Structure 1
Amino acid sequence: MKVAIYSNDGFTSKEVATQLKEKIDASEKLEYDGLNPQIVISVGGDGTLLSAFHHYRDAISKIRFVGIHTGHLGFYTDWRDYEVKELVDSLEDDNGQSVSYPLLSIKVQYTDGGPDDSFVALNESTLKRINGTMVTDIYIKDEFFEKFRGDGLCVSTPTGSTAYNKSVGGAIINPQLNAIQVSEMASINNRVFRTLGSPVIVPPDETITIVPDSPKHNILTCDQLLISDRPIKSISYSICNDRIYFAQYRHTHFWKRVSNSFIGVHEDD
């Protein structure tokens, strides 16, 4: 089985990556291949795994990911930095086991006459205005839903619901649900202007479309990618046809991850 290692530049991460490479090279069942891997081991944290996902995006249907965290516990990282041997043993006993999560499809139209863009996000996409209030029309399944006024909007996947989406008041969604969510950032609600004021979750057969009143001076993000130099006509969000796959050698229940990460519940509490 062909394995690649994708590490951040931290000292601990580099040490772990070196140990992994040595054990993979010494294995009779594993082969190191950074160009055409079947397994990609991310060493760092959730940000490192995001980078690994986008690095191997074109081959996403042929790859399973594994995450080693060298800092704080992440939602995409099941292994600790001191479990290198145990992980390599699991790789050698691999039988194709995996779990998959939904991805976010993003289609952007511009007003400058240039080509449209298509992106895929693992966590979320946001739209904000560089200065002043952002005003946009929101459509769900091609039907007008509301005119939003505020700081911005965040559209997230279920796994991304625990990231930036949570910080702006969005709901946490179990990744077993094939859905996407749009959350408001500091919406303006008074006697004149009114929005729903709560997160909206849509099923896989519905599309969320955002049409800014002003195409210029907007900032669009797709995970770690940022677009600010082109006038945006519209952005359409939907569940992607592709999914991300993780090699499931061990399983941590989603709600246990949420509890450990945000509440700090202990068995002896």
Structure 2
Amino acid sequence: MKFAITTKGDTRSNTLMQKMRTYLLDFDLIYDEDQPDICLSVGGDGTLLYAFHRYSSRLDKTAFIGVHTGHLGFYADWVPEEIEKLVIAVAKTPYQVIEYPLLEVIIRYQHGGRETRYLALNESTVKSVEGTLVMDVEIRGQHFERFRGDGLCVSTPSGSTAYNKALGGAILHPSLRAIQVAEMASINNRVFRTVGSPLILPDHHTCTLKPVNGQDFQVTVDHLTLLHKDVKSIQFRVADEKIRFARFRPFPFWKRVHDSFISDSD
């Protein structure tokens, strides 16, 4: 089996990476950064996001494992003290594959030209480069509302605990193939009106944003911030691809939610 390791880059994570790499090579596994069967992420959720984007072209072939060297992560369930146990599990034990849905983002441009496609594990946000964001929101090709405000956030179920939650969005279990649209500081008065609530769309629905004024937008895809000019539309839907996690033990989602937001223990 071929493996790769991504790291947060700090001293502790790098030390763990070297130890894990040595152990796995001793078990006759092959280190292959280009085409790994398993990618081990050492750091936190941000490190795993980086690993996901690095291997987004081979999601059907690469499974991910997270080791957290800081706070408990939603994607990283192993701790440094368990490295030996994890290495033996990877080398000797068949793993269960858990799949989570992803968000597809397609940006189309004025005057035709090539469209740009992204995959997000957590979320994508859209903001105006200058001033208020004004977008016509279409759902399944039908006009839904004209949004005015700071921006819009479209998240996956596994990303619903991140920026989406801070915006007042719902927490969705990752077994649901859905996306969620949450508003950022929408303008609502006698003249302008939005629905004012997060929207949860099933996997056969699309949400498309069409600019009303201005064509240049700041779009984020997980940790990436991108400037897109001459935008005609931005389309969101549940992607055909999924992220695959290699599980060697249970990692209950609601326990993660409890431990991250409710539990007062470290």
SS of equivalent residue, structure 1 residue 74: coil
Partner residue in 2 for 1:177: 176
| Residues in 1 aligned to 2:144 and 2:128: alpha-carbon distance in whole angstroms | 20
Q: TM-score, normalised by structure 1?
A: 0.95
| Residues in 1 aligned to 2:35 and 2:251: alpha-carbon distance in whole angstroms | 28
| Residues in 1 aligned to 2:41 and 2:55: alpha-carbon distance in whole angstroms | 12
CA shift in 2, pair 1:220/1:212, >3 Å: same
**Shift in Å, 1:120:** 0.7
| Residues in 2 aligned to 1:148 and 1:94: alpha-carbon distance in whole angstroms | 51
Is the CA contact (8 Å cut-off) linking 1:159 and 1:174 kept in structure 2?
Answer: yes
CA deviations 1:118-171 (Å, max 9, x no partner) are 111111000011221111010111011111110000000000101111111111
Partner residue in 2 for 1:91: 90
- Structure 2 gap segments, 5+ residues each: none
| Residues in 2 aligned to 1:90 and 1:111: alpha-carbon distance in whole angstroms | 51
SS of equivalent residue, structure 1 residue 61: coil
2:36 maps to 1:20: no
**Shift in Å, 1:265:** 5.3
Aligned residues: 265
| Residues in 2 aligned to 1:42 and 1:25: alpha-carbon distance in whole angstroms | 17
Partner residue in 2 for 1:49: 48
Partner residue in 1 for 2:73: 74
Paired letter, 2:99? S
CA deviations 1:213-260 (Å, max 9, x no partner) are 124342111112222142211011111111000001122211110111
**Shift in Å, 1:35:** 1.6
Is the CA contact (8 Å cut-off) linking 1:215 and 1:233 kept in structure 2?
Answer: no
CA deviations 1:26-84 (Å, max 9, x no partner) are 113x2222121100000010000000001011111101100000101110001002211
Partner residue in 2 for 1:237: 236
Paired letter, 1:230? K
| Residues in 2 aligned to 1:99 and 1:52: alpha-carbon distance in whole angstroms | 17
Partner residue in 2 for 1:7: 7
Partner residue in 1 for 2:123: 124
> Hey, which bits of structure 1, 4+ residues long, moved more than 6 A?
none
Partner residue in 1 for 2:99: 100
Is the CA contact (8 Å cut-off) linking 1:158 and 1:174 kept in structure 2?
Answer: yes
Partner residue in 2 for 1:33: 32
Is the CA contact (8 Å cut-off) linking 1:123 and 1:156 kept in structure 2?
Answer: yes
Paired letter, 1:10? D
SS of equivalent residue, structure 2 residue 49: helix
2:254 maps to 1:255: yes
Q: TM-score, normalised by structure 2?
A: 0.96
Paired letter, 1:231? D
| Residues in 2 aligned to 1:185 and 1:125: alpha-carbon distance in whole angstroms | 13
SS of equivalent residue, structure 1 residue 177: coil
| Residues in 2 aligned to 1:103 and 1:229: alpha-carbon distance in whole angstroms | 21
| Residues in 1 aligned to 2:57 and 2:14: alpha-carbon distance in whole angstroms | 25
Paired letter, 1:25? L
Is the CA contact (8 Å cut-off) linking 1:78 and 1:250 kept in structure 2?
Answer: no
| Residues in 1 aligned to 2:260 and 2:67: alpha-carbon distance in whole angstroms | 16
- Structure 1 gap segments, 5+ residues each: none
SS of equivalent residue, structure 1 residue 47: helix
Partner residue in 1 for 2:195: 196
